[in-house]
Amino acid sequence: MSRGTPPRLPSLMLRVALDPDIAEFVLGDLDEEFLERAAQMGRPRARRWYWKQAVTSAIRGCRLARGTRRPPRPASREKRFVMPIQDVIYGLRSFARRPGFTSLVIFILALGISFVTVVAGLAHSIFWGSVPYREPERIVMLWRKGPEPIHLREATSYVNIRDWAEGGAGVFDGVAAYTIGTSSIQRTEGAVRVMVTRVDPYFFEALDVDMAVGRPLIEADTRPSADDEIVVLSYGIWQSVFGGDPDIEGKSIDLGGRPYTVVGVMAPRTRWLLHEPLDVVVPIRPTSGMYQNRRANMLIAVGRLREGVTVEQAQARMRVVSLALQEEYPDANAGIEADVTSFADLRGDFGRLNEVVTVLGIAAGLVFLLSCISVTLLLLARFVERSREFAVRMALGATPRRFVYQTLAEGVSITLVAGAVGLGLAYAGIKLVFAGNPLNMYSFTDVRVHGSVFLLALLLALATTLLFGIVAMLRRTRSNFHDTLRPAGVGGGSRERNWLRRGLVIMQVAVSVAVLAGAGLVGRSLYVFTHTDYGFDTDHLVYVRLLLDGPQYDADRLRVAYRELEGRLAALPDVSDFGLWGPGLPGSSTSFRTLVPEGRETDPSFAGLHTWFHFVMPGSMERLGLRLLEGRMFDETDHAGALPSMVLSQSAARALWPGERAVGKRVVDQGGGWRTVVGVVSDARMRGMGRIHSEMLRDSYITLDQSPSPRTNIFLRATGSRAAVVNMVRNVVREIDPTRALFEVSTMDESMAEDRREMGFITTLMALFAVTTAILTTVTVYSAMSYATSRRTHEIGVRVALGGTKAHVVGLVLNRAVLDMALGLTVGGVSALALSRVMSGLLYGVTPTDPVAFILIGPALTAIALVAAFVPVRRALAVDPAEALRNH
């Protein structure tokens, strides 16, 4: 028989590998054919053939080969499609039977979905909706780079930018200078604050601006003719302020108290220049003295690189140009270079808005996560409640698959309904939330619901509920349903499902902590902000910006003009306080000077102290409300011919001479030689709502007489209306120089209100998130607790029967919940710290680890948990031992 035996090894291999359904027949066929082949062509060839067959058959016919598993029987196929429909109907019916529960679940999910959708709409509007430039890689920004690192990317003078443009003609297609300020559009229904960008006409070409209406600015617009002011509006301003007036072109608008003729409206895509909104654009009139002054550092530039030129090549070229300029203007340009930065590198930087959106986005995402967890826990609890029903139905012949279908059908239908509700909430929310233009951005007129974002949120919600639903279901169907047919609670769920549930609860508490902490910090910021001591009296303050530039205003002429102005202001009726203050506003100067204290001027390791710089008229500081802490305020003795004097803010004095008296000491003032400190005043704080560093409070003051600046602010404290006050000032200024117009009027309250509004907006949203979080957490803890209690009814009954006290029972119910809370609080505390770091830029006068915000969360959440636990605990206490044990 040796001739007839096929090789053993492949045969054995086949026996192991083959799908048992076909093994017998495959082996039989191979044996049979092997015999025939061996007879025909000899054993060696037959063996070779057998080996080949064995290998291919082992692969193609093994247990894991495709097609060896049984597909659904065709007979059951029709049922498969019918059953889910039945299940959906059944699921909907069972939801309808419990409208309260159902609407709670739907509402929770809808909230989560709508939050995410709204915030994503905002983010889209800011970040992704605003890449409006053709070939952005060719757009570059040019800044002044000083010799010291702090002078990176600063404004420079107009003439300097023109020199850069000329010198860089080989690498740039063109360079446009621009400067951004604020002003207001006066309408009969009130004033609207806007960002005003003054530009060279090439600006429109550099950024490739399309026009929706009219024309862009052109070279001819820069001609000096004061009566002929023109303006280009952004699409957002056109829509929101002028209601999209189709005849806007050629109309005159009041911008900062002067008439401007609208020549065009930019297309909607052009809304931003870096992180500043482009509200209105006006041409630079370069002939005025301010633009011819090489020291008037107030513009930056945007340029377009020539085709094929890299940023590095442009930077190299500008280095050469800068060196030439340094030689040509050794005074003004000493150490000054042009910094060329690719626009694309800066584009993502929206400054504070980045942070606003990041924080809101994280918070909304967390709330969304919370809502998914809550819904899952609710569905889970409901599933357990219904396990008896399932058990009965199964005993009557239903298959576990039906329950899976039913749970899935329920999950899907409830999520879809929630999605629809969420969509409605999102639409309404966007209308409500952005109605008052809270971020003061007219560029945001198009915050809207994005279908893709909404769908993503919906899909995520579906995925989450289904995933958890299926996990719970599978565990359930695997465990024995018959247990559940026994009296309530005996036996109960498996350990793993408890871990799933407990994990979810812990996660929920942790996320709540993070959201609540964020909201707490923002809320604290708002409180601190509205209760900030500015260091001066902000009540009824009105500022008017004044510019006395041009060749006729030399230093002496300015001194005379300011004295005259002061005299006339003093004579005004109903004006309690007044003053002259330049170049910025108190507490918010944007120009700074470096001071070096005497004795350290040769110290190479000390670069000097940067202080914010102010020119004031004697008397202005005390009338504004700054308090004298040391020495004296300025007086008439600090005139032009006298010893150069200086007053420092408390923070500046402390930084220069820690622990010493500042008065009488001398500093080298970067711009003007030696100065003697004659006084120290309280800090003035008003620099936006960002972080308060002590560096921001370092102010230095010099009299206008000793350093006459063409740019000043007149401030007044008057009882009359704003319009009346402005009118008075206008008349006074006209008496001094009839050619001057007041180009910006603002009240202190206004500029603070803006910051407050932005902060209020963030706070409102965060508060909304926090309230939602609190509700969700209550629901979750409640459902978890009542579930735990109901599962242990039997145990409680036994304990009570054996003489357990009430305290015992309460402890029994609470111990695990308390442990979970503690775990959640700990995890949440850590994640909240991480979140708070992200949002540090949004905080005002509050550190990211602010103890008040953090300490409040623990008790708040514990209180929530106690409220949520109240009902289940009461239910546990009411357990009647006889009833609980009866069926056992």
Partner 1 sequence: MSDSLGRFEELILLALLRLGPEAYGLAVRRELEDRTGRDVSTGALYTALKRLEWRGLVSSRVGEPTAERGGRRRRHYRLEASGVLALRNSYYDYAKMSEGLGPKILEAVARIDGGAER
Q: Which residues bind partner 1 (CB under 8 A)?
A: 4, 14, 18-19, 21-22, 24-33, 35, 52-53, 56-62, 65, 67-68, 70-71, 73-74
Instruction: State the minimum distance, in angstroms, from the CB of residue 2 to partner 1.
Output: 14
Amino acid at 869: A
Burial of 24 (0-12, 13-18, 19+ CB in 10 A): exposed
Main-chain phi, psi angles of 573, to 5 degrees: -80, 160
Least distance CB 45 / partner 1 (angstroms): 14
Q: How far is the CB of 29 from partner 1 (least distance, A)?
A: 4
Q: How far is the CB of 31 from partner 1 (least distance, A)?
A: 5
For residue 130, what are the contacts with CB-CB under 8 A and spacing of at least 6?
269, 271, 272, 443
Q: Residues 142, 319: contact at Cβ < 8 Å?
A: no
SS3 string, 364-423, reads HHHHHHHHHHHHHHHHHHHHHHCHHHHHHHHHCCCCHHHHHHHHHHHHHHHHHHHHHHHH
Q: Which is nearer to partner 1, 21 or 603 (CB)?
A: 21
Strand, coil or helix: 212: strand
Which single residue is written with the structure tokens 């206490």? 877
- Taking the least distance from each CB to partner 1, the nearer of 60 and 888 is 60
φ and ψ at residue 226, rounded to 5 degrees:
-60, -25
Q: Which one, of 20, 297, 363, lies nearest residue 144 by Cα?
A: 297
User: What are φ and ψ of residue 108, in 5° steps?
Assistant: -60, -50
In DSSP terms, 700 is beta-bridged to: 613, 648
Residue with tokens 């003035």: 684
- The structure tokens listed for 295 are 């020291």
Q: Are 624 and 715 in contact (CB under 8 A)?
A: yes
Question: Could you give the CA distance from residue 504 to residue 779 in angstroms, rounded to a whole number?
Answer: 13
User: Which CB atom, from 10 or from 91, has the smaller least distance to partner 1?
Assistant: 10
Provide the H-helix boundaries in 194-305: 202-206, 235-240, 289-292
Smallest gap from Cβ 7 to partner 1, in A, equals 13
Give least dist CB 79 to partner 1, A. Answer: 16
**What sections of 124-263 are H helices per DSSP?**
158-167, 202-206, 235-240
Nearer to partner 1 by Cβ, of 21 and 883: the residue is 21
Q: State which residue, 12 or 131, has the beta carbon closest to partner 1.
A: 12
State the minimum distance, in angstroms, from the CB of residue 48 to partner 1. 12
Distance CA 284, CA 200 (A): 6
CB nearer to partner 1: give 34 or 782.
Answer: 34
Report the alpha-carbon distance of residue 748 to residue 620 in Å, rounded: 16
Q: How far, in Å, CA of 848 to CA of 158, rounded?
A: 41
Tokens 């629809």: give the residue.
420
Tell me how far apart the alpha carbons of residues 341 and 339 are, in angstroms, rounded to a whole number: 6
CA–CA dist 600, 208 (Å, integer) = 50
In this complex, which beta carbon is closest to partner 1, that of residue 10 or of residue 492?
10
Q: Which is nearer to partner 1, 32 or 574 (CB)?
A: 32
Looking at beta carbons only, is 66 or 495 nearer to partner 1? Answer: 66
Q: Please give the structure tokens belonging to residue 476.
A: 């359930």
Distances (CA, A) of 724 to 57, 193, 573: 100, 19, 11
- Of the two residues 31 and 622, which places its CB atom closer to partner 1 in the complex? 31
State the nearest-atom distance from the C-beta of 1 to partner 1, in Å: 10
Which CB, 26 or 372, lies closer to partner 1? 26
CB of 71 to partner 1, least distance (A): 5
Report, in Å, the least distance between residue 8 CB and partner 1: 12
193, containing H or E segment: strand 190-199
Residue number with CB closer to partner 1 (29 or 166) = 29
Residue 402 beta carbon to partner 1: minimum distance, rounded to whole angstroms: 23
* CB 43, min distance to partner 1, A: 16
Which tokens is 502 given? 């407990």
**Rounded Cα distance, 81 and 72, in Å:** 13
Shortest Cβ distance from residue 78 to partner 1 (Å)? 14
Phi, psi of 191 (to 5 degrees): -95, 145
CA 435 to chain centre: 19
Query: Cis (ω within 30 of 0) for the bond into 583?
Result: yes
Indicate the residue among 4 and 451 with the shorter CB distance to partner 1. Answer: 4
Instruction: Give the nearer residue to partner 1 in terms of CB position, either 9 or 22.
Output: 22
Nearest distance in Å: CB 60, partner 1: 4
Closest CA to 733 of 720, 744, 749, 722: 744
Shortest reach from residue 75's CB to partner 1, in Å: 9
Smallest distance, partner 1 to C-beta of residue 22, A: 4
Cα-based torsion angle of the residue sequence 744, 749, 752, 753 in order, rounded to the nearest 10 degrees: -110
Q: What one-letter code names the amino acid at 341?
A: T
We find the least distance from the C-beta atom of residue 19 to partner 1, in angstroms, to be 7
**Nearest to partner 1 of 23, 596 (CB atom):** 23
Are the beta carbons of 776 and 371 closer than 8 angstroms? yes
Nearer to partner 1, 67 or 851 (CB): 67
Nearer to partner 1, 39 or 218 (CB): 39
In the block, residue with structure tokens 């000329």: 166
CA 93 to chain centroid, in Å, comes to 42
CB of 11 to partner 1, least distance (A): 9
Q: Between 40 and 188, whose beta carbon lies closer to partner 1?
A: 40
CA distance between the termini of the chain: 71
Structural tokens at position 33: 């054919």
Go through 393-403 and write b for each residue having 16 or more CB atoms within 10 A of its CB, e for each that does not.
bbeeeeeeebb
